[in-house]
Amino acid sequence: MVRRVATTVRLPSLAQRRERIPAPVRAMLAALPAPDSETTLSSAARERLAARHCPRNVAELEATVARLARRAAGGPTLLG
């Protein structure tokens, strides 16, 4: 007989782990099609993204990164 076991795993939100945002942002940029994948965020943009942008989930962060990359068209970007 197999019993079902329910386990709840609580993960901190992105807002609680802002220092970890740059690594997934780099991966998100790399996964975009060219020329967007060549976009780089300046250190100021990375700091502003972590400081002011408080995404509720990874999908929202990914959408923000994609919009920034499209605006930059493969070049460096600052948050506007």
Q: Is residue 22 part of a domain?
A: no
Domain that holds residue 62: 37-80
Q: Is residue 32 part of a domain?
A: no
Q: Is residue 41 part of a domain?
A: yes
Q: What's the whole-model pTM score? A: 0.71
Q: Is residue 25 part of a domain?
A: no
Of 18, 11, 17, 28, the closest CA to residue 52 belongs to: 18
Q: Is residue 46 part of a domain?
A: yes
Instruction: Walk along the chain (80 residues) and give the pLDDT tens digit of each residue.
Output: 667 888 888 878 777 887 888 888 889 999 999 988 888 888 888 877 777 656 667 888 888 889 888 888 777 776 54
Q: Is residue 50 part of a domain?
A: yes
| Domain total in the chain | 1
- Transcribe 8-61 into DSSP letters: ------GGGGGGGSHHHHHHHHHHSPTTGGG-EE-HHHHHHHHHH---SSHHHH
**Predicted pLDDT of residue 80:** 47
